[in-house]
């Protein structure tokens, strides 16, 4: 194998690792945002973010929106 073959394999491996890291970061983002904002159902938002990996990120925007939406307080409670 020549130098170019090794270089091509190195670039391929770097691209694959980068793609996996981006997918993991996107899946973890809704849960991270929900925890930082003190969302009452942060655990459920986190699970929804990871479940979207199975669905191919089709429902990922829903979990991201859910991370930003807080439940309104009932009247009479503090």
H helix or E strand, kind and range, residue 44: helix 42-55
Q: Contact 67/34 with Cβ under 8 angstroms?
A: yes
Residue 75 — very low, low, confident or very high, per pLDDT cuts 50/70/90? confident
Token pair belonging to 55:
């669905």
pLDDT tens column, 19-44: 999 999 999 999 999 999 989 899 99
Query: Is residue 39, in this structure, part of any structural domain at all?
Result: yes
Query: Is residue 14, in this structure, part of any structural domain at all?
Result: no
Residue 57 CA to residue 38 CA, distance in Å, equals: 24
Query: Is residue 47, in this structure, part of any structural domain at all?
Result: yes
pLDDT for residue 56: 84
Query: Is residue 1, in this structure, part of any structural domain at all?
Result: no
Residue 76 — very low, low, confident or very high, per pLDDT cuts 50/70/90? low
The number of domains in the chain is 1
pLDDT for residue 77: 62
Neighbour tally for 33: CB within 10 Å: 19
């Amino acid at each position: 194998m020549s130098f170019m073959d090794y270089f091509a394999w190195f670039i391929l491996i770097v691209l694959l690792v980068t793609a996996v890291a981006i997918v993991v970061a996107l899946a973890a983002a809704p849960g991270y945002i929900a925890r930082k904002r003190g969302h009452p159902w942060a655990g459920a938002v986190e699970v929804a973010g990871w479940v979207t990996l199975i669905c191919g990120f089709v429902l990922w925007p829903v979990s991201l929106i859910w991370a930003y939406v807080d439940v309104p307080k009932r009247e009479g409670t503090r």
